[in-house]
Amino acid sequence: MTRKTVTEQYPDVQPDLAPRTRGVIGLFEENCTVCMLCARECPDWCIYIDSHKETIPAATPGGRERSRNVLDRFAIDFSLCMYCGICIEVCPFDALFWSPEFEYAETDIHELTHERDKLREWMWTVPAPPALDPGAEEPKEIAAARKTAEKLAATQAEQATQAAEATPAGPDNPQGGEA
Q: Which residues on adjacent β-strands are paired with residue 142?
A: none
CA distance 72 to 47: 13
pLDDT at 172 > cutoff 80? no
CA distance 38 to 40: 6
> pLDDT (tens digit, 9 = 90+) per residue, 26-45?
999 999 999 999 999 999 99
pLDDT at 179 > cutoff 70? no
Q: Which residues on adjacent β-strands are paired with residue 56?
A: 66
> pLDDT (tens digit, 9 = 90+) per residue, 52-105?
999 998 888 888 999 999 999 999 999 999 999 999 999 999 999 999 988 888
The whole-number pLDDT of residue 9 equals: 87
The whole-number pLDDT of residue 33 equals: 93
> pLDDT (tens digit, 9 = 90+) per residue, 103-153?
888 899 999 999 999 999 999 888 888 777 888 888 788 888 888 899 999
**11 falls in which pLDDT band (50, 70, 90)?**
confident
Q: What are the backbone dihedrals phi and psi of residue 164, each rounded to the nearest 5 degrees, phi first?
A: -70, -35
Q: Which residues on adjacent β-strands are paired with residue 77?
A: 113
Q: What are the backbone dihedrals phi and psi of residue 48, each rounded to the nearest 5 degrees, phi first?
A: -115, 125
The whole-number pLDDT of residue 165 equals: 85
Could you tell me the CA-to-CA distances from 89 to 35, 75, 97, 151 in Å, in that order? 14, 18, 9, 36
The whole-number pLDDT of residue 166 equals: 80
CA distance 152 to 6: 63
Please compute the mean of the pLDDT values over residues 164-169 and round it to a whole number: 75
The whole-number pLDDT of residue 136 equals: 82
The whole-number pLDDT of residue 178 equals: 53
DSSP-assigned states of every residue in 113-154? EE-HHHHHHHHTTPPPPPPPPTTSPPPHHHHHHHHHHHHHHH
- The CA-based angle 86-25-104, given to 5 degrees, is 135
Model-level pTM? 0.68
* Best CA proximity match to 35, nearest among 99, 97, 87: 87
